[in-house]
Structure 1
């Protein structure tokens, strides 16, 4: 391992479970966790609250640079207001997905994301963690799941929170978001060349977490290549 602070990246499509998995992997290792998607959702929420035109790339990026954000265990605060539940609402997530291709916004958030790299280590989840934000990460995971399985998970989450959910609508929305994420010209959702693909379609959260911890253990036990 290099002398830098180690990073495990977990990228994948929406509702693949990467956020929950990242939290649990970080907890098991005693590391910091970065939910990069929350920064985009927070920007989207600020855009909605301030009535900014989402098509105004410069204005959106400016909001991102001035976000008054605090992350606490299980909590997210924006300008002194608890917004952990609000930023998980579908309309906020959809706007975040539409804002994500904005190159000015991505540049504005890049430094903030990299600042989360703190000892003893970082688990970062998102869509371009292993390809753009932390290309030197020691372990890169690309977490996938069948789109219907993901839609069913999201429906279950919403129903548990007392929010009505239509599976077919969620499925159509998820497919549209997948298309936006994978086809955008700036930092598209794609597995890094050195990423390990983990399919969680038929795995429990615990099984998915364990598979990643096993990969990390395997990485630690692998002797470095000569000259590295």
Structure 2
């Protein structure tokens, strides 16, 4: 079963989703973390986060996985690096890029 909750930032989507997952014994996955991971990787590589085609290329070059609910790149846990002010500044624009 997949439950998706969409809406603007800061309205409690993740909080509600975690509550639903816990009460229904579902797996919780924050899909926004994938955008954060690619944003983080792109910035770490010293590339322009507003160059959307190159962000897509960065995404193609890295394999993301989830281990214990945490985002990993090539097996390395990067979850704690995804909520920095620099990632926050660009992730919404990157996630909106078709």
Shorter-chain-normalised TM-score: which range?
0.7 to 0.9
More strand by share: 1
Q: Give the one of 20, 23, 29 matched to 1:25.
A: 20
Give ranges in structure 2 of 5+ residues lacking alignment.
none
Q: 1:31 to 1:92 in 2, by over 3 A?
A: same
Give TM-score, length-normalised by structure 1.
0.39
Q: 1:18 to 1:32 in 2, by over 3 A?
A: same
Pairwise CA distance, 1:7: 3.0
- Root-mean-square deviation (Å): 2.0
Bigger-Rg structure (1/2): 1
Structure 2 counterpart of 1:73: 68
May I ask how many residue pairs the two structures share in their alignment? 98
In 2, the alpha carbon distance for the partners of 1:73 and 1:20 equals 18
Structure with more relative contact order (C-alpha pairs < 8 Å, separation 6 or more):
1
Structure 2 counterpart of 1:52: 47
Residue 98 of structure 1 pairs with residue 66 of structure 2? no
Give TM-score, length-normalised by structure 2.
0.80
Structure 2 counterpart of 1:42: 37
Pairwise CA distance, 1:68: 2.0
